[in-house]
A and B are shown apart, each in its own frame.
Chain A
Amino acid sequence: MIKLTGVEKKYGRKSILNGITFEADKGQITCLIGINGAGKTTILQAIMGLTPYQKGEITIDGEKLSPAVMEKVTYIPDAMTLLPKMRIKDAFQFMSDFYQNWNGKRAKEILEFFKLQEDERISQLSKGNTAKVNLLMGLAMDADYILMDEPFSGIDIFSREQIADVFSSHLVEDRGVIITTHEISDIEHLIDKAVLLADGVVRKEFMTEQVREEESKSVIDVMREVYKG
């Protein structure tokens, strides 16, 4: 379980996170929802140790963040994190050089799933394919948790559908996923837990199945209630 307890972060005098507390379990898809500036990306970066936070605690399976613990987590940011001149096969080599939990077989499987070629250069990929390669790099790791930052951001509908298909495939099952997205409609039916954020605070946290069955509401209905009052 990834657990955040009272995480606070400021940039200068501006508060970005004001005591964020939530949990994301293995085998579940947890979706962080909020408008731009709500702190979604900062939360993922804080979990990965990519941005410092001033207060609170983040643990992964009960342990504090360390290089060993971080091998349990893979992060898929919304920016390309590979060198532009690399070909996809060079990126595979880089990952297999450095990560013990890199699964080359799965990487090839996802490559085929997305209909990408190993010889393609990162710099020549379309936006949709860049997002797919980013996703591939994260999913091909044998990690217990996957953090995805806006995987649908700015890509065409067919790429979105392909990426959404990943969530219901064996590539994700049994793993804990934390995803941030604006495009909630694409994956609403797939998420297990929603965490609604505003101004660096968790406004509401709920299990989607429960809300659907007990209150007959969709995630979007709950979002309307919370954000529009």
Chain B
Amino acid sequence: MKLFGKLVNFEFMRFLPIYITLLVIVFLIEAASVIFYAFMVKSEITESIVKHGLSKEQFLQDNGYASMVNILSSFIFSLPVVIAAVTIFIYILFIWYRDWLGKNTFIYRLLMLPVKRIQLFFSKGATILMLVFGLVAFQVAILPVLQVILKLVIPVDYRLDLTTQGMIRSLYYLRFLLPENFIDFIINYGFGIAFVILLFTMILIERSYRFRGVFMAVFYGIGALILVFSPYILQVIMKDYFFDNELLWMQFAIAIILSIISVFLSNHLLNKKIRV
């Protein structure tokens, strides 16, 4: 277990420079979008009241309160998070391939470590999960900071402040990543983890059988996706027999079974088939 912790730490530290850069980009772009919005509203307020002589009430009637809600739903605010999510997705593939590619074949070293090889699989998976949780936590942590920028620029009378909880509910992807009830949390992350496990297994199939493995991995991936979505096929055949909730649980159960099979398959590949 101690070695597993060291493996996770090692994997995390390898991505840390890129990860910190990503977090800085997220903060800078989101802060820039808040500053831009805040000064735009401020100039509208100034123009309406000073130039056109509107009262505060008239301005609010026409424009509404300035609030983080208006920024959170904008494309520019979500853009850095999309960039970070795409980077982490690419890293799900790269976290394996980087050890094979280039002159320095670190995979030799990893496969020779005195740990069960499946621990490499789990440590890379745990690293991905940490990266995602870290990104979510960072996003939640900077929301109040971003609101402070708004508070500094817009007078209180023209502003509607939100609680952090309120801001989370206003951001679609945070609503998804931090759902209000625990069951939704388990389901969302359960599907996410199952997807990562599936991708890892596909990579290991390819790394074990190389050219042939590409086809085998694609076949395995498509087969798994068909299975996960098979309840919907059943629903069509049985003419809407199931409730949506039941379909979701069926999908979830299939995803868990597939994940268990994928872990066993990956264990077998890592021990018996993998090549440096």
Contacts and interface: CB of A to CB of B under 8 A. Distances in A.
Contacts of A45: 276
A98 B116 CA distance: 12
B103 A70 contact: no
B169 interface: no
A49 B111 contact: yes
Interface residues of B, number: 24
| Dominant secondary structure at the A interface | loop
Given A48-B112, A98-B113, A82 B272 contact: no
B6 A50 contact: no
Contacts of B114: 67-68, 70-71, 98-100
A81 B272 CA distance: 21
B10 to A, nearest CB: 7
A220 interface: no
A127 to B, nearest CB: 11
Contacts of A81: 104-106, 108-109, 112
Given A75-B112, A98-B6, A51 B106 contact: no
Contact of A67 (B108, B109, B115, B274): B115
Contacts of B186: none
B275 A51 contact: yes
Give the most central of B6, B103, B112, B273: most A CB within 10 Å. B112
Interface string B82-112: 0000000000000000000011111011011
A46 to B, nearest CB: 11
Interface string A74-93: 01010111111000000000
A185 to B, nearest CB: 28
Contact of A77 (B108, B113, B208, B271): B108
Interface of A: 45, 48-52, 67-68, 70-71, 75, 77, 79-84, 94, 97-100, 122-123
Interface of B: 3, 6, 10, 14, 102-106, 108-109, 111-116, 208, 271-276
